[in-house]
């Protein structure tokens, strides 16, 4: 998945914003939300079965985070740092290649 030209640096976000109060509550590092690893919200997590995948890219298209990107062979890769476990990918996958399993922590 192509990354946007400005990539947020998590360390920079944490350091700079703790020292600088910007007038008007300006946020000048776009994408700084990546500091928040929403993967901790999960109850269920998507389990991917590569054999069944036909690379239709529906899961990549419909993920609201987005927490799915494509690898070099254009198979989906699930970013478990941010996946909230909503299950849309599993529900929409036409070949049922994704299964939501309860996460054991």
Partner 1 sequence: MVPLEEVTKMELPADVKKRLTLPFEEHFYAGHTACQGCGAALGLRYVLKAYGGKAIFAIPACCSTIIAGPWPYSALNAPLFHTAFETTGAVISGIEAALKAKGYKVKGEDGIMVVGWAGDGGTADIGLQALSGFLERGHDALYIMYDNEAYMNTGIQRSSSTPYGAWTTNTPGGKKHFLEQKPKKKVIDIVIAHKPAYAATASVAYPEDFMRKLKKAQTIKGPAFIQLFTPCPTGWRSPTDKSIELARLAVQTAYFPLFEYENGKYKINMPSPNKEPKPLEEYLKLQGRFKYMTKEDVEILQEWVLKEWEELKKKAELFG
Partner 2 sequence: MPKKVVSGNYAAAYAAKHARVEVVAAYPITPQTSIIEKIAEFIANGEVENLQYVPVESEHSAMAACIGASATGARAFTATSAQGLALMHEMLHWAAGARLPIVMVDVNRAMAPPWSVWDDQTDSLAQRDTGWMQFYAENNQEVYDGVLMAFKIAEHEKVNLPVMVVESAFILSHTYDVVDMPEQEEIDEFLPPRKPLYTLTDFENPFSVGALGTPADYYEFRYKIAEAMEEAKKVIKEVGREYGERFGRDYSQMIELYRTDDAEIVFMGMGSLMGTVKEAVDMLRSEGYKVGAAKVRWFRPFPKEELYELAKNVEGIAVLDRNFSFGQEGILFNEAKGALYNTDAKPIMKNYIVGLGGRDLTVNDIKAITKNMKEIIEKGKLDREIEWYHLKR
Task: Tell me which residues touch partner 1 (CB under 8 A).
Answer: 1-8, 13, 17, 22, 25, 27, 29-38, 41, 55-57, 61-67, 69-72, 74, 77, 79, 81-82, 84-88, 90-92, 100
The binder of partner 2 chosen from 2, 11, 23, 104 (CB under 8 A): 23
Residue 66 interacts with which of partner 1, partner 2, none, CB < 5 to 8 Å by class: partner 1
CA atoms within 13 A on the CB side of 104: 0
Contacts of residue 101, defined as CB under 8 A and 6 or more positions apart, other chains included, come to 44, 45, 47
Cα separation of 67 and 49, whole Å?
17
Residue closer to partner 2 by CB (options 1, 27) is 27
Stretch near partner 2 under the rule CB under 8 A, chosen from 21-29, 68-76, 86-94, 95-103: 21-29
Report, in Å, the least distance between residue 17 CB and partner 1.
4
Residue closer to partner 1 by CB (options 53, 56) is 56
CA distances from 56 to 5, 44, 47 (A): 26, 23, 17
| Angle 90-96-97 from CA coordinates, rounded to 5° | 85
């Amino acid at each position: 998945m192509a990354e946007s030209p400005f990539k947020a640096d998590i360390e920079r976000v944490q350091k700079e914003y703790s020292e600088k109060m910007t007038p008007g509550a300006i946020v000048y590092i776009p994408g700084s939300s990546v500091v928040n690893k929403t993967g901790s919200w999960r109850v269920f997590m998507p389990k991917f079965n590569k054999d069944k995948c036909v690379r239709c890219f529906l899961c990549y298209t419909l993920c609201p985070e987005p927490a799915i990107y494509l690898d070099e062979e254009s198979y989906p890769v699930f970013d478990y740092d941010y996946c909230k476990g909503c299950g849309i990918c599993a529900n929409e996958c036409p070949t049922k290649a994704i299964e939501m399993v309860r996460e054991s922590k």
